Structure 1
Amino acid sequence: MASYELNAFDRRFQAISLVGAIEQQGPCGLNVGFWLRDPNQYMLWPEMVSENPRQDFLWENTCFEIFIGVQGEDYYREINLSPSEAWQAYQFEEYRYPEVMPPEVAYDIDLNHLKRTHYGLNVSLDLGVFMAEHKLKWSDMFLGLSAVLKTSQGDQYYAMQHSSPQADFHNKRDWLHLF
């Protein structure tokens, strides 16, 4: 299991710490955990839903995100995970394209399990269809972890690294996990 401390885009905001952990499970399973430390209780948590529905615009509230890139390819996937236990997966042909809102839904990634925990969020995904359709091995892919945190102190944007002048989770340079 690999873990990463996610950094706030606003470097002055140190009140919340966030760690993401990535674990490959078998031939096409992916487990990701987000551990959040919020001693001042600044976080604004969305209301819980039931049965892990797919919902768009989750990033408008607190939302944890996984980006899946493919070595040498422009296409990628974005998975949005809400502490409400709703989720969605999107497909892009290249950087933020197609430019439709909400983005095009990706049905080649399945949710096995999504649970808000006392420490943050835990998710298990099945990448089998995505990997089979594109003939991918784990070594062909790389991941980025990020989060939009709604807080009483304003919105905070966390990622593995921020190399753009604005918070930009679609910037593949900031997707640091290799299998």
Structure 2
Amino acid sequence: MLRLEPHPSQRRPPGLELQVRLSRSPESLSVCFQLHDPRGLVRLPAPVSHPERREGLWRRTCFELFLAREGSSGYRELNLSPAGHWNLFHFEGYRQPGRVSWSPAELPFRCRPTADGYTLELVLPLRPLELHHVGLELGVCAVLSAHDGECGHWALCHPDPGKPDFHLRRGFALTLAAVPQDEAEL
């Protein structure tokens, strides 16, 4: 498990932890976010019966993944809401919208409460994103909204200590090598 940290300009609420586990095959990336929130500080939206692609998910509690082909300036951004809504963005460079290589009608992932928090699990197909069989650079992050209205920005790496910016390429701090056959796990 890898541990995400709040942005340096934001405080860590006591007891709150966010971890991620990733495993990769040649064709997919499995992601499991585990939120440990024994005091119930994070506001989680209620699950919906018909999840859909939605804009603005990052304004509330949202788990995010940034994926890039190793050495490329282009990247993909995936937003996952605990309600079940999701979105997928394509960028040619830093915040520069790019051509859409894949626009799925649905993106199934599993969300469930745990004894002391919450778990979100996804198996992301890499072929439609044109990211299969290549080395990946990943930014793993989340926006956590508290019941008091505060938002925390959590990531494996925060390259700008002044303000949170998940799009900064230096924040894609995790590299996963291309996997020809065997599965690699972190």
Equivalent residue number for residue 18 of structure 2: 18
SS in structure 1 of the partner of residue 93 of structure 2: coil
**AA in 2 matched with 1:157:** H
Alpha-carbon contact 2:10-2:152 (below 8 Å) kept = no
Q: Percent identity?
A: 30
User: 50-59 or 87-96: which moved more?
Assistant: 50-59
Rate the CA distance shift 1:91–1:73 in 2: closer, same or farther, 3 A: same
2:86–2:107: 8 Å Cα contact kept in structure 1?
A: no
Distance in 1 (CA, whole Å) between partners of 2:93 and 2:13 is 33
Q: For 1:18-55, what per-residue CA distance to the aligned partner results, in whole angstroms no more than 9, with x for missing partners?
A: 0011111x321111011011121111111212243111
Deviation of 1:11 (Å): 5.0
- Whole-angstrom distance in 1 between the partners of 2:107 and 2:83: 16
Contact 1:8 1:156 in 2 (8 A): yes
**Root mean square deviation of aligned Cα:** 2.0
Q: Which runs of 5+ in 1 are unaligned?
A: 99-103
In the alignment, which of 163, 167, 170 is matched to residue 170 of structure 1? 167
Query: Letter of the aligned partner of 2:109 in structure 1?
Result: L
Q: What is the CA–CA distance in structure 1 between the aligned matches of 2:66 and 2:22, rounded to whole Å?
A: 12
Q: Deviations over 1:48-86 (max 9, x none)?
A: 122431111111111000000122221100000000011
Higher relative contact order (CA 8 A, sep 6+): 2
Q: Secondary structure at the match of 2:128?
A: helix
Residue 109 of structure 1 deviates from its aligned partner by 6.5
Contact 2:90 2:99 survives alignment (8 Å): yes
Q: Secondary structure at the match of 1:113?
A: coil
Mapping of 1:66-85 within 5 angstroms? Answer: 66-85=65-84
Contact 2:62 2:143 in 1 (8 A): yes
Secondary structure, in 3 states, of the residue corresponding to 1:173?
helix
Query: TM-score, length-normalised on structure 2?
Result: 0.81
Aligned length: 167
Question: What residue ranges of structure 2 are gaps of 5+ in the alignment?
Answer: 177-186
The whole-number CA distance in structure 2 between the counterparts of 1:51 and 1:138 is 33
